Chain A
Amino acid sequence: MFGNTQLIVAIAIFTLTYVIIVSEKVNRTAIAIFGAVLMLIFNIEMQEEAIMHVDFNTIGLLVGMMIIVNILKRTGIFEYVAIKAAKAAKGDPWKIVLIFSILTGVSSAFLDNVTTILLVVPVTIVIANALKLNPIPFLVPEVLIANIGGTATLIGDPPNIMIGSATGLGFNDFIVNLGPVVIVITGITMVILKMVYGKTLVADELNKRQILSMNEQLAIKDKTLLIKSLIVLGITIIGFMSHQSLGYESATIALFGAGLLLLLSKLDPEDILMEIEWPTIFFFMALFILVGALEDVGVIHFLAEKMLDLTHGDLFFTAMLILWVSAIASAFLDNIPFVATMIPLITSIGDLSSISITPLWWALALGACLGGNGTLVGASANVIVSGMLEKQGYKLSFVEYMKIGFPIMLVSVAVSTVYLWVRYL
């Protein structure tokens, strides 16, 4: 059992770390590692226990997918698809926005949102430049749809990876339970975006012809690597779809794909591994230790009891509370630490009550992922788009983004409310 001092110290370390992460004054990985190590220094938990808290399924899945994407992006496939799509749209800006957004949504369901945005946004900027149009009306829809599309699958967004790993819910569970609502939300969002941006997206014929003169074949950098990468990506996606029936963890599938592609590509693994987002990986590991320590001293159990007191164990009320609190919190805060804290909390609710907690996982996934659309700081993908626009000489202000993002977030969460209510509650 833990003494009061340890309890207070653990809460203090966690709260301070959380506040500093949220303030964004210090690098989030640096402060998370420091906070996690303080838990060891103050004997809140032993080193072996801390390591046990790290969810290596989440880590393995993230690393595996990062390796696959790092190899895939070297082929030029994203540039190829973008040029092909822009030509299919005959240079019509709104059609380009529509096609690119759908492509982004689909990619984001199978790749991490941030990765998708980093692959799609540069090519979109090139297309917008060719059309001599402001790239903001192209990029805002893409980032909104990336965050929405990522909600649909186990591997689409880090919160889902964490939820899947902690609960055993598989790739197909996510698609079956979140896919339908994500399709509806995507459709509604595109209608809203058409109303907002439709009239501003006008290009003259000369610039449209410039799009048609682009050669997609020039974008392919390595055809052999492209074929190998697409085959391995296909195998990996099939693997995700059948990982539960095969009895493998999702990380095993991702790492199998990564290992196979590293082997087949004959690229220097050093070059590929150098591009893994190690700060993100270490941030996750440190967070698992921080939340694990909080769990060990009984704080999470205590919070779960308080939440049950508040909701009187009512599934509908609990799900709505999780959905809306997650969405609003994720609109302003990093959703990864939030979800890392919520996972043991929901597990404790399940242990303490008789309610079926599966709908609560969907509420958490929908709230945490869709909430990121609310503000410019709500999701890493939004921050990256804003940074890239700034580099191109365009300013997407917090307020300008929020005028579009926040209402769309509210509509998305409202649709999710109805969906959860009708389907599960």
Chain B
Amino acid sequence: MSRLLDAELTIQTMKLRQMGAKIKTINSKMCYVKFDISGFEVSYVYNINKNGNYFLERIKPYPLAIKEFYDEEQVIEIIKVDLEQFKNAIKSHNIQSFIDINRRLHQSIQKFEDLFLYYNVPLEECDKIISLLDALDQELKDTKNSSNRIYTKKEPDNL
């Protein structure tokens, strides 16, 4: 099995090298972590290599970008906090709306990427999108100010 995997990797890396890529292959272990919070799935994937680097990504209920860590305690702590926050969040009757909004935001990012990569977008259209994002940003701040804080063990990372 690992021999076939190696061969498959050779095909991919040879094609990528011909495209000009520099590739470093590292032996590592990948772990899928799954929690069931009253029927609500929260799952993660993380990768450990022997240099002690950890690459953690949340995959459910919605994906969170991959982050690199240098200490297993950090990885466990991130998952612990994330899990506690989801345990709180699912008690809210807005949880489904929250997930739907998140999914739609994610879809909007993908649509924007297509727009950028497939079309020559006029500058005034870009300005329109920026002003819509500013409005959304302001709405998020206003919502934060008018909402009760439910998790206090840690400060928000982005808000």
A and B together in one complex: yes
Residue pair A126, B11 in contact (C-beta under 8 Å):
yes
Task: Report the Cα distance A218→B2, complex, angstroms.
Answer: 25
Whether A122 contacts B14 in the complex (CB less than 8 A), given A271-B27, A274-B27, A391-B8, comes out as yes
Residue pair A123, B10 in contact (C-beta under 8 Å):
yes
* Residue in contact with B7 in the complex, picked from A76, A122, A214, A219, CB distance below 8 Å: A122
Whether A215 contacts B18 in the complex (CB less than 8 A), given A122-B11, A123-B10, A274-B27, comes out as yes
Interface flag for A277 (CB, 8 Å): yes
Interface flag for B15 (CB, 8 Å): yes
Residue pair B20, A218 in contact (C-beta under 8 Å):
yes
A interface residue count range (under 10 / 10 to 19 / 20 to 34 / 35 or more) = 20 to 34
Chain B residue nearest in CB terms to A385? B7
CB-defined contacts of A277 to chain B, threshold 8 Å: 3
Interface flag for B65 (CB, 8 Å): no
CB-defined contacts of A96 to chain B, threshold 8 Å: none
Interface flag for B121 (CB, 8 Å): no
Chain B residue nearest in CB terms to A82? B14
- Count A-B contacts at CB 8 Å: 46
1/0 per residue, CB under 8 A from A, across B1-19: the answer is 0111011101100110110
Chain B residue nearest in CB terms to A126? B14
CB distance from A5 to the nearest CB of B (A): 40
- Count of interface residues, chain B, beta-carbon cutoff 8 Å: 15
CB distance from B76 to the nearest CB of A (A): 25
Residue pair A388, B7 in contact (C-beta under 8 Å):
yes
Residue pair B2, A123 in contact (C-beta under 8 Å):
no
CB-defined contacts of A384 to chain B, threshold 8 Å: 3-4, 7
Task: Report the Cα distance A122→B6, complex, angstroms.
Answer: 9
CB-defined contacts of A126 to chain B, threshold 8 Å: 11, 14-15, 18
Residue pair B20, A122 in contact (C-beta under 8 Å):
no
CB-defined contacts of B3 to chain A, threshold 8 Å: 114, 118, 277, 384
Residue pair B8, A122 in contact (C-beta under 8 Å):
yes
Task: Report the Cα distance A219→B8, complex, angstroms.
Answer: 16
Residue pair B10, A275 in contact (C-beta under 8 Å):
no
Chain B residue nearest in CB terms to A70? B6
Residue pair B11, A125 in contact (C-beta under 8 Å):
yes
Chain B residue nearest in CB terms to A215? B18
CB distance from A240 to the nearest CB of B (A): 24
CB-defined contacts of A125 to chain B, threshold 8 Å: 11
Residue pair B4, A388 in contact (C-beta under 8 Å):
yes
Q: Which residues of chain B (1-58) have a CB below 8 Å from chain A?
A: 2-4, 6-8, 10-11, 14-15, 17-18, 20, 27, 50
Interface flag for A142 (CB, 8 Å): no
Whether A218 contacts B27 in the complex (CB less than 8 A), given A125-B11, A275-B2, A391-B4, comes out as no
CB distance from A6 to the nearest CB of B (A): 38
Residue pair B4, A123 in contact (C-beta under 8 Å):
no
Residue pair B14, A79 in contact (C-beta under 8 Å):
yes
CB-defined contacts of A79 to chain B, threshold 8 Å: 10, 14, 17
Task: Report the Cα distance A275→B11, complex, angstroms.
Answer: 18
Q: Which residues of chain A (98-129) have a CB below 8 Å from chain B?
A: 114, 118-119, 121-123, 125-126, 129
Residue pair A387, B4 in contact (C-beta under 8 Å):
yes
Task: Report the Cα distance A284→B127, complex, angstroms.
Answer: 70
B: residues with CB less than 8 A from A are 2-4, 6-8, 10-11, 14-15, 17-18, 20, 27, 50
3 closest A-B pairs by CB = A122-B10, A122-B11, A122-B7
**What are 16 pairs between A and B in contact, CB < 8 Å?**
A76-B17, A114-B3, A119-B10, A122-B7, A122-B14, A123-B14, A126-B11, A215-B18, A218-B17, A218-B18, A218-B20, A219-B14, A270-B50, A274-B27, A384-B3, A388-B8
Taking A118-B6, A121-B7, A391-B8 as given, write out 15 further A-B residue pairs in contact, using a Cβ cutoff of 8 Å, ordered by the A residue number. Answer: A79-B10, A79-B17, A118-B3, A122-B8, A122-B10, A122-B11, A123-B10, A123-B14, A125-B11, A126-B15, A126-B18, A215-B18, A271-B27, A384-B4, A387-B4
